[in-house]
Amino acid sequence: MNSIEIRDLVLRFGKTTVLQDLDLDIEQGEFLVLLGSSGCGKSTLLNCIAGLLEVSEGQIFINGRNVTWEEPKDRGIGMVFQSYALYPQMTVKGNLSFGLKNAGASKEEIEKRIKNASQMLQIENLLQRKPAELSGGQRQRVAIGRALVRDADVFLFDEPLSNLDAKLRTELRVELKQLHKRLQNTMIYVTHDQIEAMTLADRIAIMKNGFIQQLDSPATIYNRPKNKFVAGFIGSPAMNFLEGTLDCTGEPHFVVGEAKIPLAGYEFSQNLEGKTQSSFGIRPEHIVYGEEAQKAPFNAKVTVDVFEPMGSDTQVWAHVEGQNFRFRIDGRDKIANGDEMLIGFDPACASIFHGETEERI
């Protein structure tokens, strides 16, 4: 049985449609990340699942139960917010127990759950403090604790780490992963940070304009992006796109300017014949250079325009057939502007997208 099922969900604010005919199945115990830039509808979707926004059409099931009309408190969910949303005038303990007290839980039960949650999150020594006396990381732990004590089936996270600095973010990310491993609950996690998405998720749903563009494991999303948007969105630095023509008249190859890229190892998703206007995408980290480039199925000579040393590696900006092209070299290699370099790649790890539909070919 799926933990969460969403059927034909539509959400409108007045005349603007924010979510359009959305279907989504989430397995029991799965960690699903909703990823997208702001305004893509990811937080809206989460709020619909939580019951904080009323859907315009469609249904939501949690553990097989239709909760479309239920109040948030009756849906068996716990939620963690970006701004922590702790009750500022209550102690940590007060924050954890307020909902339980209100639901009429017994004193022993409340104590037990608070003890469990606070041990798990290592906030036992903070129970008597007020939120204002806590650091950002501690506050977010308490906010997670408030969701934990609800003993919910599903946890919803709305950009929980965005307000933290980079270091804390990394730490808490690992803790969240461990927490999921221990609890084995279904978790839905909204973020605009692709690193968070890649590291945490069992599956990632990439959203744009209220649609889910692709729903797959992080590896699939990275290696076989379904369309040009996903390909460009995931990965940093972003994927290189060479505009040209896919020629399937004989041995399939990709023509960009004077160059012909053989597509021997490429796994096609569609059967095309003849010539098709399309984009050839290759990630900067899949580019090899020097000796390795000579052995690669395709290679080309480029001139270094600009380079940006980042320490461990150096990003190089160049042109291939007049089109912008980026790649990474080892940070220890010496390089200068105007250098000529031989680069190469294996088309097997490339992605080709249709020029009009932008779908993967």
Nearest residue (CB) to another protein, 81 versus 229: 81
Q: Is the dihedral of CA 227, 232, 234, 237 positive or negative?
A: positive
Determine the angle formed by the axes of helices 166-183 and 107-121, rounding to 10 degrees: 130
Nearest residue (CB) to another protein, 53 versus 342: 53
Determine the angle formed by the axes of helices 107-121 and 136-148, rounding to 10 degrees: 140
Stretch that binds another protein, among 94-102, 201-209, 304-312, 338-346 (CB under 8 A): 94-102
Nearest residue (CB) to another protein, 30 versus 159: 159
Q: Does 283 bind another protein (CB under 8 A)?
A: no
Stretch that binds another protein, among 64-72, 184-192, 311-319, 334-342 (CB under 8 A): 64-72
Closest approach of another protein to the CB of residue 59, in Å:
5
The DSSP element (H or E) to which 97 belongs, if any, is helix 92-103
Name the token pair of 140.
Answer: 């977010």
Determine the angle formed by the axes of helices 92-103 and 136-148, rounding to 10 degrees: 20
Closest approach of another protein to the CB of residue 12, in Å:
10
Query: Alpha-carbon distance 28 to 35, whole Å?
Result: 20
Closest approach of another protein to the CB of residue 84, in Å:
8
How many residues of this chain interact with another protein, rule: CB under 8 A? 38
Query: Alpha-carbon distance 361 to 357, whole Å?
Result: 10
Query: Alpha-carbon distance 192 to 194, whole Å?
Result: 6
Q: Does 50 bind another protein (CB under 8 A)?
A: yes
Closest approach of another protein to the CB of residue 135, in Å:
17
Nearest residue (CB) to another protein, 89 versus 122: 89
The binder of another protein chosen from 23, 37, 64, 89 (CB under 8 A): 89
**Which residues inside 295-314 make contact with another protein, applying CB under 8 A?**
none
∠ CA 45-47-52, rounded to 5°: 145
Q: Tabulate helix, strand, coil % of the chain (nearest 5).
A: 30, 35, 35
Closest approach of another protein to the CB of residue 212, in Å:
20
Query: Alpha-carbon distance 77 to 288, whole Å?
Result: 48
Stretch that binds another protein, among 28-36, 75-83, 292-300, 349-357 (CB under 8 A): 75-83
- Name residue 36's amino acid: G
Q: Which residues make up the interface to another protein (CB under 8 A)?
A: 47, 50-52, 54-59, 66-69, 71-74, 77-79, 81-90, 98-99, 102-103, 146, 150, 158
